[in-house]
Amino acid sequence: PDSSPIARSWNGRPTDDSSPAVQFMKSRIERLASRWTIAGERMRQKVALRTPSQLRVLLYPGVLAGAGGQRLARMVEKGGPLGELVQWADISASFFILGHNLIRAAPGRGSCPIQGPIPFDLIYTDYHGLAHLRGAMGLSFQHYQCRFRILDSFGTEPAFNVGEYARKRGYTTMWGSWGLQPLQYMTMFPHTPDNSFMGFVSEEVGDGEASRSQRKENIAVVYGKQAYMWQGKERYLEIISRELEIHGTVYQRDGQPSPLPSFVTNHGLLAQDQLQRLLRRAKLFVGLGFPYEGPAPLEAIALGCVFLQPRFHPPHSSVNNDFYKGKPTMREVHSQHPYTEDFIGKPYVWTVDMDNTTEVQEAVRAILSLKVDPFIPHEFTCEGMLERVYAYIAHQDFCSLSVPSWPSEDNLAMRLGPLGQSCVAVCRHTALRCEPALFHHLNHPTAFQKLGLTCASTEQEVDHLFPAYSPWGRRCSLQQDSLLYSCAGGHPSYRRLCPCRAFQPGQVALCPGCL
């Protein structure tokens, strides 16, 4: 698998190349190599004369470190989470294609890559790696922290990020309180706009393969690599099995009886390319409610499946759900995969109450009466990912002491929210996106005037909901700590001032003309 140079983008000491995790990433990079190369060519044409200088980039996946890393490596072949590995592989490929100088290291192997003055312009790591590196760097961490980028699948909202504020207001969690710029956290999906959306690539149907992929069989593939994810879902699956043959890819020990209902054909955990072959034949990909927000539904939709998933009522969040408990976000997850519901939707994505037999049955029948072509949002193609990585490298500078200048002020669409609403929701109502890098333009008394508000008093305070207006007493509140500018968060006493912007079709991270 090392035949092309890109495959070597995950080679290199001191990562353990024989580990199943590294093998997974390398085979993914190799499989996508020709797509990356074509996308790289298109990118070069788009940004012809604006090639940024070659950067030295350290990739430091803490997820592979220590006992946790060994556990993950063991689980790679037994149905454990692979989403993070997908993302690390794709980031590695993106930097390679954009011509940067990559250095990979895994914590706990060989000597620490950070000693003395650090020789890297950028350091990509995750929360585990961040803790390792801070330990190794001691006091110099503060000086270099602006060069860090943290892969943080589910995101970190500003209220959880500022240690003292989090302690005072009850937002302390085991992950937050690092005090980095919120945009230094990079998420798997465009969750809170307070963080940068890094994403990954969804494998698409290649040229000439489209017609083959349309020869669909009456098959549903169930999303869930481990048997526990299927528990209590028998009725839901049985209803679907009346219309379609049900297939699973659940890890199963040799010689053990299948833990799945008798009507299921289980293939065992499949290699990614084999899973894709199965999805190509299938009409439906069935969500069971867990795992949350992973890559697989996008892959299924890209291979011509419809994704059927459960709605959560009430929504799952850190308040009521063990998986989200302790994650530094208040986000409410209203279905298994909100991105697919909100950004893709019907006919590709159907969200149902899985306990409502009639609703499930009607949805499956309606889906079977449709002809649905493979679909992939631009932001999840190689080219879409390269655009984002390029734009972040070219424009995001967290080491500068001046206010952010990207996106430029021309992109600002100022909005006054109704009581109780977050800026995420306020901007979404007019098909815009909250842009935290524009907050500083409206953290000023004139912003209230422009919105037609008269202030009886104006104060600067430390509160992640500010700038905001309170009709009771006509109080105008400005933000005192720029780290607390937050698109997330709402309160019944406040009307928030929101910095919205437009975005490119299929690329929510970038405003029009912002590459």
Binding site for ligand U2F (CB under 6 A): 81-84, 86, 153, 188, 225, 249, 269-270, 272, 275, 291-296, 299
Q: How many CA atoms lie within 13 A of 129 on its CB side?
A: 26
Alpha helices in 242-309 (DSSP H): 272-281, 296-302
State the Cα–Cα distance between residues 285 and 291, nearest whole angstrom: 13
Q: Which runs of E-coded beta strand occur in 226-304?
A: 245-248, 264-266, 284-287
Nearest approach, Cβ of residue 275 and ligand U2F (Å)? 4
Task: Please give the Cα distance from 199 to 42 (Å, whole number).
Answer: 19
**Whole-number minimum distance, CB 150 to ligand U2F, in Å?**
14
| Residue (153 or 443) nearer to ligand U2F, CB | 153
Q: Residue 62 or residue 294: which is nearer to ligand U2F going by CB?
A: 294
291 vs 384, beta carbon nearer ligand U2F = 291
Q: How far is the CB of 67 from ligand U2F (least distance, A)?
A: 18
- What is the closest distance, in whole angstroms, from the C-beta atom of residue 36 to ligand U2F in the complex? 16
Q: Smaller CB distance to ligand U2F: residue 194 or 299?
A: 299
Nearer to ligand U2F, 272 or 408 (CB): 272
**CB closer to ligand U2F, 91 vs 391:** 91
Give the phi and the psi of residue 478 in degrees, each rounded to 5. Answer: -105, 160
Minimum CB distance to ligand U2F, residue 344 (Å): 15
Closer residue to ligand U2F (CB): 120 or 223: 223
Largest CA distance in the chain: 75
367-401 burial by CB neighbour count: b if 16+ within 10 A, else e? beeeebebbbbebbbbbbbbbbbbbbbebbeeeee
Shortest distance, CB of residue 153 to ligand U2F, whole angstroms? 4
| Shortest spacing between CB 218 and ligand U2F, in angstroms | 21
**What residue number has its CB nearest to ligand U2F?**
83
Which is nearest to 296 in space by CA: 268, 332, 270, 329?
A: 270
Query: Whole-number minimum distance, CB 514 to ligand U2F, in Å?
Result: 27
Evaluated on CA atoms 363, 364, 370, 371, the torsion sign reads positive
H or E stretch covering 428: helix 423-429
The CA distance from 261 to 248, in Å, is 10
CB 430 within 8 A of CB 498: no
Nearer to ligand U2F, 272 or 356 (CB): 272
